[in-house]
Structure 1
């Protein structure tokens, strides 16, 4: 194990001169874009709450657990062949890569088990792109824990607000866009640029450069490609900031101009909703570390099936299951016959059968050698998934009919992992240990958990990477 660096407290470098955010409602796209650039350049001098420490802990645990998957093996092989490096390797890996490739791999590892996080309003997975970019930069220069947490909050907030601007139901955007791919790079660029000390003009160049590589479609779901989308956004944002650092410029219209990203994605950008309370209210704090290693569209359904499972003697007692979910959930989760781990992560019929058969399995990541078990295979044809226009993504209704004809109903109005049911610190600590222990052992996992709970006092967050680096 590499020698660890000492963690003595060093004051966070926070901006002393903060341009005030507009107090009233913003009405123009240019006004909001200017306000977000100002926010990213000089964020308000406010204490960073423990929430960001917890989402960082959740992200690191997911990255450790996902690092040995075949999707990450393939991506590492490509980047290792392209260029090596002398930096600390990606989380959970031994290969030495260049920094931008390492950022991509770290975000991929944290996403691949579908256990990372979710911002229900925007369906973003906010922490991954931003945290990966921060740790990429931390491999080349000392970044205190306090500054890393401040950058994490800043980047996640920029990401969430740009996503709300473009992707809300009132924006006219196409439903096939993958918000993390579109907005994740903007958050990663903002966090990296702030850590590099950019002024307003250079910050705008960084965001414009990140906008030029925004990409991602929901059609990627069901394969490794779904997790490559946030990974690309992390790398794109990190590289955008490093390019701007070197004097590389972006055209002024790349982000908010008539032919720029924001207007191309959103015919009617949600300026007022995206700008509301900027600098005082942090929309990113509605992000939930996932309670289940599946697509967020399944969480309300899992909650219903968990409640129904004790009401029957076993899957053979179930004659029929009728489940209603949101229109988006039914569309994204409509694969009735998943053949891979990636397809199963969003197959509502399989997930319902699994939870009704073995409720504890709802919290265990699927294996790469996935196959549908005999109990689930027998139950799945008796499960019907229907779209209900009156249900939101965090809601579901399920009626289970037993062999004796009894009808048992369950309704979830607020899914675990939604803003009103965020997991607590103790649950996230237990999740981290469950994910990290099989990778680094119980002793190192416990030490890393202690480091993460005190990360705001650490002089250099790269000590976390030292701690978990393979011997």
Structure 2
């Protein structure tokens, strides 16, 4: 949408905040029931957030914005049953694409119901919303800024967020005590009640399944001392050292976790070593969360690792510089051209 509008970076940032706040308002009204019923919020809420951002960039008027969100309500989908497959990361791309399509259709005059969100057969009803009205959530828009109050999380591990608190705890213990996989008798990981419904693969067969396996992620952290993109490549998924540690790792629900914090954000780890030592750690959040923000170096390392899959080092660094000064970028197309693998050929 920013490319279509010839928008500068400042406009993109403005639209991103609009989309963020719309998603947050929907999440406040619809969760936890919406998520626990099987819907994947990245796609279901993300489609409407992307639509709102695209509408802002394209300069839609009030009536067209309403129709844009109504169209997006009919596009929104994404089920958690697809976790551990190619379809799961596709959800994010579909949300972005569908948001732009909704804005373009609304701009062209496509009609849609004014009650598509909160009508008796609308988005909230169909998607098992916790509340059937957006009133309270929308009331604070423009007065309370979710992006400032709760902040933004940057995931530092390329696995399900539910693994991150435990990974932080395990890696910290490994650094502090210097144990290896051969030293480990058993690892017990306590989590909240929602986490096991998402981390469903105790013996993953693929890298995508491994991203949703607490046992695999924990074993890889112990064996390798880190968790990165290559952790989920076939060579490591089939690594005998990691596979040999899996039976010694157990994930169980800890009733003391999750009652005073958002789901997926707490873990209690106990490592029993063969020499008899018991090592323990409690994690409330993870590195990259607003309370423990990622360092500039951590963000740079993550970006280079991801971008390096499709871009050469010079283009990746050029893109990083543009992103760090996005509010001064004259036109978005400069950035998207830099990020395009086709443009470097």
The answer, yes or no, to whether TM exceeds 0.5 is yes
Change (3 A) 1:229 1:356: same
Q: Which runs of 5+ in 1 are unaligned?
A: 1-136
Is residue 363 of structure 1 aligned with residue 234 of structure 2? no
2:338 is aligned to: 467
Which residue of 401, 407, 422 corresponds with 2:293? 422
Change (3 A) 1:268 1:451: closer
Structure 1 distance, partners of 2:4, 2:200, is 44
1:153 is aligned to: 17
- The 5-angstrom pairing of residues 190-269 of structure 1 reads 190-264=52-126, 265-269=128-132
Is residue 326 of structure 1 aligned with residue 192 of structure 2? yes
1:165 is aligned to: 29
**What's the secondary structure of 2:190's corresponding residue?**
strand
**Superposition RMSD in Å:** 2.1
Which residue of 179, 194, 197 corresponds with 1:313? 179
Query: Cα deviations across residues 307-326 of structure 1 (Å, max 9, x unaligned)?
Result: 22242532111111111011
- Of structures 1 and 2, the one with the larger relative CO (CA 8 A, separation 6+) is 1
The answer as to whether partners of 1:173 and 1:267 remain within 8 angstroms in 2 is: no
Is residue 283 of structure 1 aligned with residue 146 of structure 2? yes
Structure 2 distance, partners of 1:450, 1:250, is 41
- 276-285 vs 175-184, which moves further: 276-285
2:45 is aligned to: 183
Structure 2 distance, partners of 1:460, 1:309, is 46
Q: TM-score, normalised by structure 1?
A: 0.66
1:303 is aligned to: 168
The answer as to whether partners of 1:394 and 1:418 remain within 8 angstroms in 2 is: no
- How far the C-alpha of 1:367 sits from its partner, in A, is 4.6
1:274 is aligned to: 137
1:125 is aligned to: none
Is residue 395 of structure 1 aligned with residue 269 of structure 2? no
Structure 1 distance, partners of 2:36, 2:23, is 19
Structure 2 distance, partners of 1:451, 1:231, is 22
Which residue of 337, 342, 359 corresponds with 2:208? 342
**What's the secondary structure of 1:154's corresponding residue?**
helix
**What's the secondary structure of 1:219's corresponding residue?**
helix
- 238-247 vs 157-166, which moves further: 157-166
- Equivalent pairs counted in the alignment come to 332
Q: Which runs of 5+ in 2 are unaligned?
A: 259-263
Q: TM-score, normalised by structure 2?
A: 0.89
**What's the secondary structure of 1:327's corresponding residue?**
coil
The answer as to whether partners of 1:256 and 1:263 remain within 8 angstroms in 2 is: yes
Structure 1 distance, partners of 2:34, 2:105, is 32
Structure 2 distance, partners of 1:195, 1:313, is 52
Structure 2 distance, partners of 1:438, 1:257, is 44
Structure 1 distance, partners of 2:266, 2:162, is 9
Structure 1 distance, partners of 2:338, 2:26, is 35
Structure 1 distance, partners of 2:219, 2:139, is 42
Structure 1 distance, partners of 2:139, 2:166, is 32
Structure 2 distance, partners of 1:294, 1:273, is 34
Structure 1 distance, partners of 2:201, 2:123, is 32
The answer as to whether partners of 2:223 and 2:241 remain within 8 angstroms in 1 is: yes
